[in-house]
Structures are given as C-alpha cells and as structure tokens.
Structure 1
C-alpha cells in the first residue's frame, strides 16, 4: 500500500496494491476515481467502465474499484480482487447473515471468466456483486500519449444461498469447497449496466438472513473453529489427542465446535501460525458457517493474533486463553478468584501491545471473562500494580495454608494429596472415600479450589489410622506457566503432602500420555513430592487388552472405579501402607 500526496484541491486518497513503476499522472487518474458517483441500483455505468478500461490499459495492470450502495467509490486498487481486497475488520457490515454492502468493479487484461481466486475474494468480503470487465486495446493513441482500451465483454458474479443454487442459460453455479456463487455468461457492457442490482442483492440478503437464523440454535454459545498445527515434534496420534482435548476444553468453556482445521508444517508461520492459503480457508469457513471465534492449539504471539484477526475478521484466541476462561468460570472461593485473576493478568500483560480489536472485547465470550475483571484498556502500569497486589494476597493465602498444614503435622495426621490429569475422577473418588459433597461433573477443571477431608485407613495390624485427603486442581498437558505461578498456593498442597495419590482415567484413549504429563509437571515443582500410589480409575469402562497393558506397565497400581465404588477397600489398605512408609523415620 502506498499513499501519494499532491498539492491541489483534490482530496488525498489512498491507492492500494502495487504502485511500483506508475507515473505521477497515472496515480492522479486513479485517485480521481474516488470523485466518481455511480447509481445505487445498477452495478456500473458504461462511462465509468470505459474509464476504468482506459486507465487499466495505460498502466497495463488490472484495476479494482470498490463501491458502496450509495454509489460512492470507497477503495481503488491496482491488482486483482485477491490482491486488493478489503480486510474483514475494515468492512462496514460483516457476517454470515448479510452481504457487505460493497460491490467490486474489476478490470481483467485477458478474455476469460473470473478466476477462482477472484471469486474466493468475493466470498471472503461477502461482496454484493463482482463485476469483471475484460478489456482490450483499441489500437489508437490517447491525446498526450498512452494506449486506450475498451470493454470487450463482462461477467457478473455473486454469492448464492445454499438453498438457491441454480443453473440457467444466462448464468451458471460454480462451487468451491466452502462457498457457492453464480457467474453469468459473457455479457455486453450495456446489458451489465442495466442489471437490476439493488433488487438482486436485497433478495440474496433476505435468503442469507433466513439461513443464518436457521443455524443459530443456541446464540449463547460461541461458535468455534479449531485450528491445529502439527510440527515434526508431534506424532499423528499425539496431534490428534491434542485436538480432541482442545475440543473438550472449548465445550467446557461453553463453545460449540463447528469444524477443525489441520496443517502440517515444519514450524508455525511466524506471522499467522498457519499458511496464507489456510488462513483464507479458515476465513471463508468462518463466514460461511457463522463462526464467531477461532481457537488455536498453541500459544500465539500478539502479532499473530493481530494478523489473524485482521485477515479473518473475528476473534482469535489460543489454548491458554481457553483454559484461563474455564478457570474464570469455575472459581467459586475468594482464593480461587484472586488466583484466576492473577493468572489472567500475568498472561495478558505482555500481550497488551498489538492486540488491536481484542483490547475492547472483554466480557463477550470465551477468553474474555474473569472474576474481578480488569479492563485491558487500563494502562500497563495500573495492571502491574494490580498484579503486585494480587501476588501479595496469594502470598497471604500461601502463609495461611502453611499454618493449617503445620497444625495437622503437630497433631501427627499424615496428609495425602490427590493429583492427576483433569477429569480423571479425583473429586468423585474423594466423595466416595469420605462422603464429601465436592462438585463433580464430566468436565475439564470441574475442581479449582482444594478440598481437604478426613479419612480413616488401616494401619499396622489393621488398626485404624486417620489421614487427610486433599483434592487438588487437575493437571493438563503443557499447563500454562501463568497458571503454575498463580496457583502456587494450591499446588503447595501437593509439594507439602506426605504422599500422593495419582488418579488416572484408564478409559481415556491417551491415558499413558496423561500419566507422562502429570509426572512431568510434578518433576518441575521446586520441592520434590512424597511417595506416590497410582490408582487406575474407571476400570469398569475398559477392555481386557487395556487392563493387560496397564498391569504390565504399572504392576504396583491399584484398580478402582470411584463412581461404582469398586476396589475402594483395597485402596484404603494401600493408602495405609503408603502413609506408613511416607512418615517412617529415615
């Protein structure tokens, strides 16, 4: 894009596209197109079309003009519709239920129908129509030099609602994988200029609106497209497990997954994570399906978010933001809320610069909620002060829980922390063992706040021994660092416990990978946790082959079903052995 200024009463206008090699006089001709006014009920006029043809022939490049429904030229570009298209965020009206209110009149230096790229650009911008003018030179010179040209034939293209795909003698339906459009047969310029443009677009918009309403079953849920990038470090199965887990996260956060995109790359694209073609495919799918959120399977830089939102036209968030949003919804106690807010602010602070549209979108869906929410428009310094205050409160919470642990130690009550991957059944097990009433659900991160309950287990010779069990927040693959830091008061329940009970969902297809993720997080803790007992949960849902693999890999594990109360007596006995070993003098 290049801005050209000249000193006259003509307004300074921007000409988009490739201006390299153009003379000042040619740029002025392009700028004067902004002064033209077209009728609101016709695609173009013969005079305007011939003027475009003359300029395009002189500069020997295609020219695109974008006109609103009032007939005002709002954008002039040198290049094809793909090269000069308007970014979605700059369109005055944008959404699956309507057209943008803008038509594109484009010249073409060869005699053929509009290309797939031009039609895709029309669909991405949801243009009212795309009028393509095929031009040819006239063979004589204009006064002052330079070849002129004339319009040889024209084509008129527009989007088609899925319920109205037709084919007649005067137009044909051409369909891409994600959009349908009608392209007319070659028309003379006079016929094109006399098309009833306004009646056409009003009828199309009415049908698009009906289709959109029919698909919006639950407007309270975000309509989400998931995007995954498979690098060389991930096996196909691990990549699929990551996408499946992200879909569960989106569902838990309250979103509806409409479609999942995959791209294999040696490394993520530095500007958009995925390639340019995939970005276009995502953008076209988003406006076709009426999506309002894109979720990536990896952390995105502020520049990547900004570039993606500009090109796609809707909000873009990453996996960490989805997890933070779930935590914001789940937090119930004051401690949980302040830790969530701290995690959100610590994640957002370095991302304030360049978030663009995202800066003013809090409170509008996944990735935007938070208890005690602080608007991101607040200056960085104010947010940093808020973070400092929250960290001080977390430190106080940390000290309070430390005192409680010391009291238990003085009473010589051994402690066991229940750890495991999210949704492994930890809270259900605590309820089954202690008759607690901790909230449980088949959701990720149903538990945020630690809950401690007393349990009697057999000691030496079958004598009763009192211990305390603490239910902790679930782990997840690549747990965001901001959460690890903010929830240090909660995670200290793990590091300070005498022993750990690692609960595993044996029915999950990726149960072995989940065990590795939990063990990796535990190994990164500043204090080495105590001895551990593995409890393979949900055995009532697994087949004999899975049991055989588990028994071979984890021969010392205990097999239970917390929901059906299977194996709990064996678990109590093993817990008694575990704490006896953990507290024995070294």
Structure 2
C-alpha cells in the first residue's frame, strides 16, 4: 500500500496517470507516465512470451477518476499477456480509494478474453497473488495445449472487406470460397469477419477493428490473418507489424491464392 499511495500522490500532483510494470519477484521494471486518461505501454522486447504462457509482468496504474478498467486497459492486458492489470482509483489526496483488477481468461472459447475481479477497497486486498497467477498460467497452458491438439495447428482468422456496389457475388459467397481454399490448403478457420465498405487505405478494416481482430486472435491462439483482397505493400507492412508485435505468425492475402508476407 505504501507504493500504491506514493504512485497515487505523484499521479495527482502531475495530473497524469502513472503506471508500474512489476515482475513476479516484486521488482519494478518500468515507470510509465501517461496523460490524464491513459498510459502507453512501452516495447517489451526483453520480456518475450511463449504462446502458452503469461509475460511474468503485472501492470499497476492509477485512475484519476472513479472509473473501472476501460476497454483500452483490458486490451493492454490481453495483447501484452500481462499476469494481471490493476487500476487504483485515487482521491484528491492521492490515496487509493479502491481498486479494479482483471486477469486473462484461460478459456480461449470464452465470450470475453478477460476475467474481471470485484471492486476492492484497501482493507480487502488479499495475499496469495503469486499462487493465483501461477494457477491461472497452468490452466492457460493446459487449455492452449488441448486446443492445439483437438483443433489442429495453422489456425486462421479470415477477413473480408467488400464494396458491395462493385461486386457481382455476395460477400458471403466470397467468404465461403476463401474458407474452401483454406480447407484445401490445410488451414483451420477459427473465426471470420466481413465488412461492407471500401478498404481503409492504411489498415484495411480501420485501426480500432484491426486491434479487435488481433485481440481475438491472441486470445484464441490464432496464427494467421487472411484477407480476402490484395493488400497494398503499405497495408501489408502495417498489418504485419501489428501482428508481429502480438506474436501472430503471418499475414496473408487472397489475390492469386494464399501468399505469406
């Protein structure tokens, strides 16, 4: 609590969210200063993470208003494979009033990729955090192994972006054709997304939607994103860079078959 109070006091004094990345040993690896409503996670190249394991870091940060964990917080949790994320809602004196926490859901078939803990007040904080995380990681590894065994490798998310004004066939027909092509190539289709609009010139589906697709892909241990259109070099690079940051192996398009970038 002393560290939480110190971080809270600093956060209130500068009017910005302040975050800490903490190893399981308790060692603080990063101090992050954000703006008044968010923080930006730095590159964590030193802390590589296997597909079936958590990163070994937890994120603790302040909220200057009495808000629970938001979508950005939860996406940081899942996309970075953090052990957990905690937001301390601090008062005007910097003292944490209560805490919101979340963990990654080890079940890849669950509706939500995270598990939200009830709001906790300082006196309700419990010991046994390390044991809880290790048990969660064990379940995470078990579920991932079972998933790979039962539902094959080469798991893919198919993305179709169609301008229906220019199409002679329906988007569903085009997606069905892509699914069949994947089946022939030995690729297991886990999920699909269809968007009926002109492709975004940068990320095809838009930055927010791409982040959602990558979030789903990380949670379901998907290895490939396959697009039912020919990507421009710029689009391919942006999408591939985003995927590589999240340990998704390949981005493909469907222009003349399936092509790896």
Shorter-normalised TM-score: what interval? Answer: 0.7 to 0.9
Residue correspondence of structure 1 range 65-144 to structure 2 within 5 A? 65-70=20-25, 71-74=27-30, 76-79=32-35, 83-85=39-41, 92-95=48-51, 97-138=52-93
Cα RMSD (Å) of the superposition? 2.9
Structure 2 gaps of 5+ residues are none
* 1:224 paired to 2:156: yes
* 1:269 paired to 2:200: yes
TM-score, with normalisation over the residues of structure 1?
Answer: 0.40
Per-residue CA deviations over 1:330-366 (Å, capped at 9, x if unaligned) read xxxxxxxxxxxxxxxxxxxxxxxxxxxxxxxxxxxxx
In 1, the alpha carbon distance for the partners of 2:183 and 2:89 equals 49
Please tell me whether Structure 1 or Structure 2 has the larger radius of gyration of its CA atoms: 1
CA displacement at 1:191 relative to structure 2:
4.7
Structure possessing the higher relative contact order (Cα contacts under 8 Å, 6 or more residues apart): 2
Residue of structure 1 aligned with 2:100, choices 155, 169, 172: 155
SS at match of 2:149: coil
- Contact 1:88/1:310 (<8 A) preserved: no
In 1, the alpha carbon distance for the partners of 2:95 and 2:216 equals 37
The structure richer in helix per residue is: 1
- Indicate the residue corresponding to 2:253 in structure 1: 318
Per-residue CA deviations over 1:49-104 (Å, capped at 9, x if unaligned) read 22221221122122222223342323624148965145798862153x22222211
Per-residue CA deviations over 1:398-433 (Å, capped at 9, x if unaligned) read xxxxxxxxxxxxxxxxxxxxxxxxxxxxxxxxxxxx
* 1:182 paired to 2:127: no
| Cα gap change, 1:91 to 1:254, in 2 (>3 Å) | farther
- Indicate the residue corresponding to 1:497 in structure 2: none
CA displacement at 1:48 relative to structure 2:
2.3
- Contact 2:190/2:222 (<8 A) preserved: yes
* 1:209 paired to 2:151: no
| Cα gap change, 1:219 to 1:232, in 2 (>3 Å) | closer
CA displacement at 1:294 relative to structure 2:
0.5
- Contact 1:178/1:288 (<8 A) preserved: no
CA displacement at 1:210 relative to structure 2:
1.2
Residue of structure 1 aligned with 2:219, choices 263, 276, 288: 288
- Indicate the residue corresponding to 1:466 in structure 2: none
| Cα gap change, 1:82 to 1:249, in 2 (>3 Å) | farther
| Cα gap change, 1:307 to 1:263, in 2 (>3 Å) | same
- Contact 2:152/2:188 (<8 A) preserved: no
SS at match of 1:162: coil
Residue correspondence of structure 1 range 530-541 to structure 2 within 5 A? none
SS at match of 2:116: strand
Residue of structure 2 aligned with 1:300, choices 206, 231, 237: 231
Count of aligned pairs between the two proteins: 255
CA displacement at 1:107 relative to structure 2:
0.3
Residue correspondence of structure 1 range 347-362 to structure 2 within 5 A? none
Residue correspondence of structure 1 range 438-453 to structure 2 within 5 A? none
Structure 1 gaps of 5+ residues are 1-45, 139-148, 164-174, 325-366, 369-586
The structure richer in strand per residue is: 2
SS at match of 1:273: coil
- Contact 1:81/1:106 (<8 A) preserved: no
Residue correspondence of structure 1 range 323-338 to structure 2 within 5 A? 323=258
